[in-house]
Amino acid sequence: MGIAAGIKDITQDIVFSYDARVADYDARVAEVKRLKKEASEMLDSFKASQGKMGAQLRRDLAQDKAEMEAEVKAMQTGFQASHKKMGAKLKKELADYDRGIDSKVAGMRQETRGDLKRARTTWQGLAHTMEAKRAGVKVPPKVEVPDLEAKLLAAVNKHPKGVSLAEVAQSLGVVPVVLGRASSSLLKKGLIRKKEKLYFPVAGE
């Protein structure tokens, strides 16, 4: 092979190698451009997604805040209503207790006055009888007025379906507590029976 032919081959190899390097360079440049474009698109997509997520997060936080405020307000309203209801109930119970005490005291006073009145009447009758006997006057036997037990027994016997002490007391013009002792006595004697708050004649069993 001559020098000219060798130089020709070398020249062709250099040209071919250059063309290959240029083609490879162009391909690498195109790949870099493509990657930069994809990276830019990904960055833009990330920014858009981040903006949407931020907006959604702000909406969610605002909604949660509104719901929490509504729940707190509802709890406060419920607490206030419950407190008010409990206060009203307590006031009513205290008022009922006071009325019960007043009723019991009034009944005890009325019962005491009745006992004192009967005792005074009995004493006066005894004094009158003794005075009459000393004077030699014949005193006819005294007819006893029916007491509370007799009145209560008569009232219960009129109600085979049951009657309360309050109803009997109203018909007799006394407070219910006055009939407590009489009702207990009649129950012990087996002359009446009681179921819950009603009293029944024994014959109605």
CATH number of the structural domain spanning residue 199: 1.10.10.10
Same domain, 84 and 20: yes
Least confident of 104-113, 166-175, 177-186: 104-113
Domain range for 167: 146-205
- Of 127, 145, 163, the residue at which a domain comes to its end is 145
Average pLDDT over every residue of 103-112: 71
138/201 same-domain check = no
pLDDT at 106: 73
Query: Which residue has 């309360």 as its token pair?
Result: 164
The share of the chain scoring above pLDDT 70, in percent, equals 79
Q: Give yes or no: residues 33 and 129 share one domain.
A: yes
For residues 192 and 87, the model is more confident at: 192
Answer yes or no: do 80 and 135 share one domain: yes
pLDDT at 190: 92
Which has more confidence, 87 or 199? 199
Number of domains, the chain = 2
* pLDDT at position 140: 47
**Do both 172 and 104 map to the same domain?**
no
Q: Can you give the pLDDT at residue 154?
A: 93
130 and 200, same structural domain? Answer: no
Return the pLDDT at 116: 67
pLDDT digits (tens, 9 = 90+) for 146-174: 478 999 999 999 999 999 999 998 988 88
